[in-house]
C-alpha cells in the first residue's frame, strides 16, 4: 500500500526533491520512465495518398506496417491504464452471510458490529477527510469522537460526531436506535434528531418515533431479535437470516404488525415466539419451514 502511495505521489507531482531523488533509485521509477520513453520515441507515419496504390499482396504488408505503430501505442496505453487502475485506491467491502456476524475497527478505531445478511463499504484512503460508511443490512456503531461520521443507506442517512447507535436498513424498512450521544437521521424530506433511548422507524405503513429505556447495545448482539410494530414479513426475513432457513407461508397476512422477539439459540423456540401470538402453525422439513393458519390443512 505504501508503494502505491509513493507512485501516486510521483505521478501527481507532489514529491519533494529529496523524495524524488530516492524514488529515482527504485525499479518502479525505471518502469515508468521506460513508458515515457516509448511515448517520446513514437512518431506517427506520414500520410501520402500515392503510397496506397499497390497490388493486393503489397497492400496487406503496407497495412501491417501502417498499423504497427498504432498497435504499439495501444499496447503502451493499455500498460499505463493497467498501472493507473492497479494504483487507484479501492473501497473496502465487508459482508456477512446468513447466521453470521462480524465486528471490526474502522481507520479511526470506531467499532462496527455487523448483523447477519449485512454489507458495509467505506474508503480507507478518504477516511481522514470524510468518515462515510455505506450500509445495507444492520449494524451497531461505536463512533470515536471527531469530525462528522455518516452512515449512508438507500432509505436514509445517519450523521453523528461521536456516539453509539444501531442502524437497520432492509427492504422497505429503516430504523435507527440511539444509545449514546446525539444522532441526526434524514429520510426523504424528513429529518429528526434522536437522543439516548430514542428510536425512529420507517416502514411502508409510515413513520414511528418512540422513547424507551434501552440497554447500552442492541439485543441482537446478545443473540436476540426484537421488533416493535414491524410488518410480519420483515420478522420472517430476519428469522431466515439468523437460522439460514427458507420460510414459506400459506394464507398468512404478512403485512400484519408484530411486536415481540425471538432468541437466536434454539430455532423451534424462536419459531414458537413468532407464530403463537398470531395462532399460526408450522411444519419443518430440513431447512424448509411452512407456516400456515391452524384452520387450513
What is the reported pTM?
0.69
CATH class of 92-219: mainly beta
For 153-206, write each residue's pLDDT tens digit. 999 999 998 899 999 999 889 999 999 999 999 998 899 999 999 999 998 878
For 37-84, write each residue's pLDDT tens digit. 655 565 555 555 555 454 555 555 555 555 556 555 665 566 655 555
pLDDT score at 55: 52
Q: Would you identify the CATH topology of the domain 223-293?
A: Phage tail protein beta-alpha-beta fold (3.55.50)
For 112-163, write each residue's pLDDT tens digit. 999 999 999 999 999 999 999 999 999 999 999 999 999 999 999 999 988 9
CA–CA distance, 271 with 273 (Å, rounded to integer): 5
Domain with CATH 3.55.50.30 in the chain: 223-293
Domain with CATH 2.60.120.1440 in the chain: 92-219
For 262-282, write each residue's pLDDT tens digit. 999 999 999 999 999 999 999
Closest CA to 240 of 120, 118, 116: 116
Q: 182-196: b or e for each residue (b if 16 or more CB lie within 10 Å)?
A: bbbbebeeeeeebeb
Assign 296 a pLDDT band (cuts: 50, 70, 90).
Answer: very low
- Residue appearing with cell numbers 506496417: 65
Amino acid at each position: 500500500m505504501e508503494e502505491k502511495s509513493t507512485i501516486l505521489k510521483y505521478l501527481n507531482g507532489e514529491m519533494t526533491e529529496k523524495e524524488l531523488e530516492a524514488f529515482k533509485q527504485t525499479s518502479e521509477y525505471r518502469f515508468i520512465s521506460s513508458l515515457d520513453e516509448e511515448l517520446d520515441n513514437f512518431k506517427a507515419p506520414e500520410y501520402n495518398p500515392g503510397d496506397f496504390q499497390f497490388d493486393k499482396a503489397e497492400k496487406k504488408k503496407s497495412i501491417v506496417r501502417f498499423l504497427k505503430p498504432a498497435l504499439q501505442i495501444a499496447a503502451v496505453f493499455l500498460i499505463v491504464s493497467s498501472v493507473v487502475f492497479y494504483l487507484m485506491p479501492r473501497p473496502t467491502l465487508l459482508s456477512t452471510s446468513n447466521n453470521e456476524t462480524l465486528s471490526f475497527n474502522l481507520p479511526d478505531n470506531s467499532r462496527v458490529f455487523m448483523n447477519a445478511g449485512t454489507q458495509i463499504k467505506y474508503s480507507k484512503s478518504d477516511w481522514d477527510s470524510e468518515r462515510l460508511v455505506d450500509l445495507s443490512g444492520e449494524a451497531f456503531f461505536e463512533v470515536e469522537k471527531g469530525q462528522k461520521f455518516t452512515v449512508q443507506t438507500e432509505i436514509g442517512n445517519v450523521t453523528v460526531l461521536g456516539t453509539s447507535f444501531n442502524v437497520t436498513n432492509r427492504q422497505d424498512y429503516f430504523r435507527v436506535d440511539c444509545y449514546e450521544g446525539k444522532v441526526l437521521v434524514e429520510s426523504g424530506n424528513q429529518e429528526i434528531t434522536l437522543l439516548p433511548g430514542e428510536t425512529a422507524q420507517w416502514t411502508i405503513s409510515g413513520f414511528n418515533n418512540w422513547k424507551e429505556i434501552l440497554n447500552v447495545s442492541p439485543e441482537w448482539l446478545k443473540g436476540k431479535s426484537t421488533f416493535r410494530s414491524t410488518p410480519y414479513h420483515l420478522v420472517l426475513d430476519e428469522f431466515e437470516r439468523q437460522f439460514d432457513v427458507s420460510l414459506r407461508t400459506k394464507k398468512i397476512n404478512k403485512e400484519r404488525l408484530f411486536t415481540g422477539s425471538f432468541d437466536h439459540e434454539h430455532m423451534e423456540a424462536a419459531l414458537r415466539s413468532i407464530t403463537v401470538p398470531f395462532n399460526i402453525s408450522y411444519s419443518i422439513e430440513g431447512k424448509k419451514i411452512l407456516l400456515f393458519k391452524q384452520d387450513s390443512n
